[in-house]
Amino acid sequence: MDDLRPSGVAGSPSLVSLFPPGLHAIYGECRRLYPEQPNPLQVTAIVKYWLGGPDPLDYVSMYRNLGTPTANVPEHWHYVSFGLSDLYGDNRVHEYTTADSPSGFGFELTFRLKREAGESAPPTWPAELMQGLARYVFQSENTFCSGDHVSWHSPLDNSESRIQHMLLTEDPQMQPVQTPFGVVTFLQIVGVCTEELHAAQQWNGQGILDLLRSVPVAGGPWLITDMRRGETIFEIDPHLQQERVDKGIETDGSNLSGVSAKCAWDDLSRPPDDEDDSRSICIGTQPRRLSGKDAEQIKETLRRGLEINIKPILPPISAQRHNGMNHDRAPSRKDSLESESSAAIIPHELIRTRQLESVHLKFNQESGTLIPLCLRGRLLHGRHFTYKSITGDTAITFVSTGVEGAFATEEHPYAAHGPWLQILLTEEFVERMLEDVEDLTSEELKLPKEYSWPEKKLKISILPDTEFDNPLH
């Protein structure tokens, strides 16, 4: 259980010198911003992580920031984490590398919450939220970057708020610090509505962050989260959707190159239980790989842990823990395309690449709603898009004719390498598919829903979530 107490040592000259160097460096940056608050309230982990406790963050400090009302920066609470970076340098938590490398995971989290009138002390729920994010990072070894978006699917403070997801950006005040154990940057959590998250997925996170900065009540220049905000930026200013987001998607496409999802695929070229793949054509014992740039982009997107499953990508804090571990967690980096345990997905000489004549793709509804994004925002811009199953090694990568190095070709548009399926779609076929799947984003879509292109020997089914609870999928 976390403990709330004043830090008691942050401003004490006799004790500051006793701080571990990594901890001292972050405190120094906090003291630079808040010299008048040497002893902030902190949420601390009673049992430290290296002693078997469940919470990776040693501390979360909470400061009162007066803001700058004339610059549309309201008074707010400023939260700063301690523990994602290497605080100690003795391998108790993080493996020490060099002073020039990232310290630990290379960052700490911050959060700015609008102060309510009459509020004399900061709420502690943001510290719990930060612990949840930190647990995800430690368990998955996925790091966060500015512009990342996090699907949470629940009000961040467990209220009735519309703020149910997060974007991440650089903290506007805290500067990167150099510690003896490496460099630490500060990533700020920004609470957003579902519609804003979807816009970030369709376009890009940085673009939506810029829009939030331009709307004072939605964040303003310092992107301060107001849990009482009842309108999205698109409801506040309807022109933002058409003039900025839609135009951005048309011009730039989407920078979302993959998601973890509830998905599956079947080879309709042969009977379902036929283990003999003699009907499939081997395209060589050394199959072509995606180009380094494309493969790295797929890995990077999946590394960031982007999830769209019905459960929160990063599980909210639960009062019930099992042996200090929260078992309802997001997939780890070891489940991604660069995985050692998922080697069947990665092309190598021991697995044959098979040409398929006909395929059946299966998605849950939330995954299916991203198919238009995949087609319009990625393939029509000469890019690729990957669905990675959250329950196993299955992956589906759509590629356009402009993607180099794919093992799917125009002559053989469906090709599988182990459980990794690649589908090459021409621009003409993409345009046709967009017309046919136009209703995918409708809230009235009735499941199951099937789309079929017999002459292309391609079928897509949108199925209820329960279909993917079956281990056969």
Mean pLDDT of 374-397: 91
Q: Are 260 and 302 in contact (CB under 8 A)?
A: yes
User: Which tokens is 203 given?
Assistant: 């376009």
Q: In what order do the strands lie in the sheet with 359-364?
A: 263-267, 359-364, 458-463, 449-453
Mean pLDDT of 454-465: 96
Residue that has been written with the tokens 């997801």 in this structure: 165
pLDDT at 169: 97
Q: Are 358 and 457 in contact (CB under 8 A)?
A: yes
Mean pLDDT of 82-102: 92
Which residues lie closer than 8 Å to 414 by C-beta, 6 or more apart?
355, 356, 357, 358, 359, 408, 421, 422, 423, 424, 457, 458
pTM over 0.75: no
pLDDT at 53: 93
User: Which tokens is 223 given?
Assistant: 């992107």
pLDDT at 236: 96
At 27-64, the pLDDT tens digits run 999 999 999 999 999 999 989 999 999 999 999 999 99
User: Which tokens is 408 given?
Assistant: 């799917």
pLDDT at 350: 47
At 217-233, the pLDDT tens digits run 999 999 999 999 999 99
Q: CA-based Rg of the chain, rounded to a whole angstrom?
A: 24
Peptide bond preceding 315 in cis form (omega within 30 of 0): no
At 145-155, the pLDDT tens digits run 999 989 898 99
pLDDT at 205: 93
pLDDT at 255: 83
pLDDT at 434: 96
pLDDT at 96: 83
The DSSP-derived string for 46-88 is SS-GGGT-S---SEEEEEEE--BGGGTB--EEEEEEESSS-SS
SS (H, E, C) 235-258: HHCCHHHHHHHHHHHHHHCCCCCE
pLDDT band at 469, cuts 50/70/90? confident
At 320-376, the pLDDT tens digits run 222 222 222 333 322 222 222 233 333 344 468 899 999 999 999 989 999 999 999
How much of the chain is in helix, strand and coil states, percent to nearest 5?
30, 25, 45
Mean pLDDT lowest among 100-114, 188-202, 343-357, 386-400: 343-357
pLDDT band at 4, cuts 50/70/90? low
pLDDT at 3: 63
Cα 262 to Cα 392: distance, rounded to the nearest angstrom: 10
Cα 466 to Cα 198: distance, rounded to the nearest angstrom: 23
Mean pLDDT lowest among 17-26, 249-258, 322-331, 418-427: 322-331
At what angle are helices 194-202 and 205-214 packed, to 10 degrees? Answer: 130
pLDDT at 285: 32
Domain positions in the chain are 21-252, 256-270+352-472
pLDDT at 140: 83
At 256-314, the pLDDT tens digits run 888 888 999 999 986 555 444 433 333 333 334 455 565 565 555 544 433 333 333 33
**Alpha carbon of residue 374 to chain centroid:** 17
pLDDT at 67: 96
pLDDT at 328: 29
pLDDT at 17: 44
pLDDT at 400: 93
pLDDT band at 470, cuts 50/70/90? low
Exposed, middle or buried, 256 (CB in 10 Å: 0-12/13-18/19+)?
buried
Tell me the pLDDT of the chain averaged across its residues. Answer: 82
**Alpha carbon of residue 415 to chain centroid:** 28
SS (H, E, C) 384-418: EEEEEECCCCCEEEEECCCCCCCCCCCCCCEEEEC
Mean pLDDT of 462-473: 78
359-379 in b/e burial notation, b at 16+ Cβ within 10 A?
Answer: bbbbbbbbbbbbbbbbbbbbb
> Which fold is adopted by the domain 256-270+352-472?
Gyrase A; domain 2 (3.30.1360)
